[in-house]
Structure 1
Amino acid sequence: MAIKRIVANIATPSVEQTRDFYIALFDLDVAMDMGWIATLSGTAKTPVQISIAREGGSGTAVPDLSIEVEDVDAIHARAKKLELAIEYPLTDEPWGVRRFYLRDPTGKLLNILSH
């Protein structure tokens, strides 16, 4: 059986605030908005992946979501412009990714990275 997609669901009392955070930081599009749920999407076709970990690497906590972007430096600059608190600094990791951590409005820990 082929998996067609896996969707990350983020519980929040403020769908609008959380939706706007992801749109502002990642330029996502609103695919659906019913008020009580909003689904955001990008244009890239991506493989289905689930990571199972006991740590996030380099002694960090396991992130709730890992979001791979084309240009992590540009997203990092945008996060700073939006005055978002960076929880793990922009780092070149020994396994070949450049990444940083921040939290979304619901407290989810985001690992934002580029290979």
Structure 2
Amino acid sequence: MRSTRIMADLSVDDIEVAKGFYTDFLGLSTEEFNLGWVARFTSPDGEALVQLVTRDATAPEDPVISIHTPDVEAAYREAQEMGYEIVVPLRTEEWGVHRFFVRAPDGNVINIVGHPH
């Protein structure tokens, strides 16, 4: 699998309450998107970013990081071939991303995400 972007998925109780710290203090002033339960904030140069998550809206567990890849279908097949536990099967979400969750051997849940071809 080829990773093109890795970002932390930080668990917060309330995105609106938490966002001031990440935008005002840490300088992640660009809100890339906000779905109410997940929001991504980046620095003006796009180099630093974080996602704040209250509770994943469509999954039984929350991921600790999100990994972007240009070929999520190939990554899914590779994870299955390697015998990793698939927590959420590959699917296209209503907000347009194609993703699946896989459990790392250490127990962390990872969101593998891309955009449909």
Q: TM-score range by the shorter chain?
A: 0.5 to 0.7
TM-score by length of 2: 0.56
Distance 1:59 1:103 in 2: 13
Match of 1:71 in 2: 71
Match of 1:99 in 2: 99
Aligned residue type for 2:111: N
Aligned residue type for 1:91: R
Distance 1:50 1:98 in 2: 19
Match of 1:56 in 2: 56
Matches within 5 A, 1:39-50: 47-50=47-50
Aligned residue type for 2:67: I
1:31-59 per-residue CA deviation (whole Å, 9 max, x = no partner) reads xxxxxxxxxxxxxxx74211111112314
Check whether the contact 2:7–2:65 (CA below 8 A) recurs between aligned residues. Answer: no
TM-score by length of 1: 0.57
Percent of residue pairs identical: 33
Distance 2:98 2:66 in 1: 12
Q: 1:111 to 1:90 in 2, by over 3 A?
A: same
Check whether the contact 2:59–2:88 (CA below 8 A) recurs between aligned residues. Answer: no
Root-mean-square deviation (Å):
2.2
Match of 1:80 in 2: 80
Q: How many Å apart are 1:60 and its aligned residue?
A: 3.6
- Larger strand share, 1 or 2: 2
Q: 1:55 to 1:70 in 2, by over 3 A?
A: same
Match of 1:13 in 2: none
